Amino acid sequence: MDYDPSMKPPATQGTTWDLLTEAHQALRTAVMGIPADGWDRPTPAEAWNVTQVLQHAAGDQLAYASALTGGPKPAEDPFSPSGSFEGSPAELLEPALAAVVAAFGTVDSPDTEIGVPLPPFKLPAGVGVAAASLDAAIHAWDIAVATGQPSPLRPGLALALRPAADALVEPLRGFAFGPAIEPAIDADEADSLLNFLGRRADWRA
């Protein structure tokens, strides 16, 4: 399955959320780098292969958009991805990214309360966009390390995402996140974030 890099979301008016832009680009780049034989490979997301992580990641972004605007929801449960989809990877991912960018683009202030698809279901927009960014960036990492690509989770991005993780992850352990792992003494911000989310920073296929 080839990824057409020309399929990018249209420019949107409204607030620019740089963190979301960077996280989306990390996810897009990871998906573009999936080799032809990489779609069935295991990932750090436990029982899901690369295809299922992509389905989940796209579904999550569309769920954030839907919670904010009341627009279309994911066609399937993001937490039960089928492992197959019609069309190209870009045709699956790009509409979801465009939808959430457009949705957050209508919010004028990071303090505005918005709907989100997971508990606590209402958050200040600044926290909500960080949550959507966290989701995209972590699944970009899942796909990248599963397919032999460099990690897209640079320490600066991880540092920017950590406040959202600290605020939101604990109630979701056992559902969306596994038990936290004690980071190594020399762990950087990226490894520490991955460990906090229950992922082994040294995971290899």
Q: Which of the four pLDDT bands, split at 50, 70 and 90, describes residue 10?
A: very low
Q: HSE of 195 in the Cβ direction (CA atoms, 13 Å)? A: 14
Angle at 26 between CA 88 and CA 37, to 5 degrees: 45
pLDDT of residue 185: 94
**pTM, entire model:** 0.92
At 197 the pLDDT is 96
Q: Is the pLDDT of residue 56 over 90?
A: yes
For 120, list phi and psi in degrees, rounded to 5.
-90, 10
Task: Report the mean per-residue pLDDT for the chain.
Answer: 91
What is the pLDDT, as a whole number, of residue 12? 41
Q: What is the pLDDT of residues 140-157, one digit of tens each?
A: 999 999 999 999 999 999
Domain spans of the chain?
Answer: 18-154
Comparison of pLDDT for 99 and 8, the residue scoring more: 99
4 has pLDDT over 80 = no
Pull the structure tokens for residue 153: 């989770």
Question: Helix or strand or coil: residue 125?
Answer: helix
Q: What is the mean pLDDT of residues 102-117?
A: 93
pLDDT confidence tier of residue 8, bands split at 50, 70 and 90: very low
Q: Looking at the domain that runs over 18-154, which CATH code has it been given? A: 1.20.120.450
pLDDT band at 204 (very low <50, low <70, confident <90, very high): confident
- Do 84 and 52 touch, CB atoms closer than 8 A? no
Determine which of 67-71, 111-115, 171-175 has the lowest per-residue pLDDT on average. 171-175
Q: Give the pLDDT band (50/70/90) at residue 2.
A: low
Report d(CA 68, CA 158) in Å as an integer: 24
